[in-house]
Amino acid sequence: MNGSGSTAQQAKGVNSGHVRKGDVMKRVMWMLSIVALVLMVCVCNSFAESYRHPPTGLVFPDQFAGMSKGEVTEFDKDNPGSDVGIGYNLPNITLTIYLYNPSAPDFESPAFKKHFDECVDEIMKVRPNGKKTSEGVVSFRLAPTPLRAQFASFNGVSNRGEYVSIIYLMVYKDRYLKIRYTYSKDSDTMGEATFKRVIETLAAMLN
């Protein structure tokens, strides 16, 4: 009897141990789920919130020309706002607005032209099969002081199909403001219409 009772107690103890271990695992999984949910909410909120660029005062909303804001990247974390990229997205369309170099040269200077050429070369390195299709200057503002941008557009083929890529570069409040806009040729009509809204929205912000 004593031996049987001891065996029963041992079995009960083993089963209780399994229950306790199962409870611990359930609690761990529950806690991990809560942590994951909190992180998702934080990420979603950071994308949904507008971003104010401290040096210029420009505010980039969660929706820009019909596009949803993605990640805001601080390339110089020690100096917030000194070198930043603000991303926006739609299916098959991406937009990034960069603000950097607080001592950018004048638009008319050779240094500006040199930097624009460097930006074009950078695109060609990333997309070596791309072909530049146009280049020129556009005005965002005429008065009280002119605000002009140098632009270039490219066509090419990537592993996702044909694309159009556009770059705009200007100087705003003594720093570079660069636009990189790319869309799939499969979304040609929407890509062109969205870019027109991007330029109109940005012009309204800068005036």
Residue 189 is predicted with a pLDDT of 93
Considering the domain architecture, whether residues 76 and 157 belong to the same structural domain is answered as yes
Helices (H), the chain: 2-48, 110-126, 188-206
Considering the domain architecture, whether residues 69 and 43 belong to the same structural domain is answered as no
Is the per-residue pLDDT at 143 higher than 90? no
Judged by DSSP in three states, 98 sits in: strand
| Distance separating alpha carbons of residues 123 and 104, to the nearest angstrom | 20
Domain count, the chain: 2
pTM across the whole model: 0.75
Average pLDDT over residues 42-65: 80
Cα distances (angstroms) measured from residue 172 to each of 107, 116, 142: 10, 15, 14
Choice between 164 and 42, residue whose per-residue pLDDT is larger: 164
| Distance separating alpha carbons of residues 105 and 91, to the nearest angstrom | 36
57 within a domain of the structure (yes/no): no
143 within a domain of the structure (yes/no): yes
Q: Token match 């044909």: residue?
A: 162
Q: Which domain holds residue 15?
A: 1-48
Considering the domain architecture, whether residues 167 and 137 belong to the same structural domain is answered as yes
